[in-house]
Amino acid sequence: MNVLVTGGAGFIGGNFVHYMIDKYPDYHIYNIDNLTYAGDLTKHRNIEMLPNYHFLKTDITDRRKIFKLFEEYHFDYVIHFAAESHVDRSISDSEIFIRTNVLGTQILLDATKEFNVKKFVHVSTDEVYGELNFDPDTFFTEDSPIQPNSPYSASKASSDLLVRAYYETYAMPVNITRCSNNYGPYHFPEKLIPLTISRVLNDEKVPIYGDGRNIRDWLHVYDHCNAIDLVMHDAPFGEVYNIGGHNEKTNLEVVKTIIQVLNKSEDSIEFVKDRLGHDKRYAIDPNKLEKLGWKPTYDFESGINQTINWYLNNKDWWQSIIEGDYHQYFEHQY
């Protein structure tokens, strides 16, 4: 099997590449990524010499090059992660989000159609459903209306609708997955959990937007990877699957848990101005995926402890990122 993973130098795509190499040593994994600020290949140092791992530096919006690669490598599966992924950056400037997330997806769909790929899995997000209120009995289901609130989620929703349209129009072999917030190894330090761990370890302030009562539903990245594996191999074409493990936490709870595990002081918490259009709550009903046979392996407590340990043992990776261009980005946020 030839499996194309787009965005395989990023957080989730990178974990997925490792997951696939470990689980399916007879598959060839092709990682297409143009290495934006969020992509790095050091995470693949221990697999780069393997004969079944291939890195092809390419921008998914480069139609000519994408078609050439599809023609040359005969991909059986396309697992599409590549995207601009950070909500705050989309609020500052949304243009690249539309280009990469919408146009890039359309080009990959066209190539998938042209070269008879067996399946295209579009990795999307629960944010396309907008926000929930604080009623703990409400969840996003696959039938919830698409009501994105940020430029990022609007770009992802647009790409979801393109995938749906290609299924309806051309009967293409597609699935869409919509996962909740991920955490785990190699999470870029602009996002809440790695930002908190890295700043607490460096004795720096942790910015919490608004009152910290917004809720996110956290899933360990490994459980996202095994859900995609299941959808890739077993899901009927055209189906959408929500992915989430019932781990709802307020942002303040998440930050306080990390501070406690690291045995540091809550004085590092700093309440700052709220994110524009900040969604109140996300929560996933994963019933449809569970019926297909999926079960998460991590609860939040074991997952966050494993993740904190990973950051303690891999300071070189995240410290070099926060001392690079990211430093300037972070300073401009406040």
Catalytic, 323? Answer no
Residue 51 is classified by DSSP as: T
Partner from ligand NAD, ligand DAU, none binding residue 53, C-beta < 5-8 Å depending on class? none
User: Does position 83 bind ligand NAD by CB under 6 A?
Assistant: yes
**Stretch near ligand NAD under the rule CB under 6 A, chosen from 75-83, 143-151, 204-212, 283-291:** 75-83
Catalytic residue among 30, 77, 129, 152: 152
Catalytic, 126? Answer yes
- Rounded to 10 deg, the angle between the 315-322 and 300-313 helix axes is 80
Residues in the chain: 334
Among 105, 106, 181, 307, binds ligand NAD (CB under 6 A): 181
In sequence order, what are the beta bridge partners of 29?
3, 53
Could you list the residues that contact ligand DAU (CB under 6 A)? 85-87, 125-127, 180-181, 191-192, 195, 207-209, 214, 216, 251, 275, 282
For 116, the 3-state DSSP assignment is: coil
Catalytic, 152? Answer yes
Binding characters for ligand NAD, 110-149, by CB under 6 A (x = yes)? -------------x-x------------------------
Binding characters for ligand NAD, 17-46, by CB under 6 A (x = yes)? ----------------xxxx-xx-------
User: Does position 78 bind ligand NAD by CB under 6 A?
Assistant: no
Alpha-carbon distance 201 to 101, whole Å?
33
Helical spans, DSSP H, in the chain: 11-23, 63-73, 87-92, 95-97, 104-114, 151-170, 192-201, 221-234, 251-261, 287-292, 300-313, 315-322, 325-332
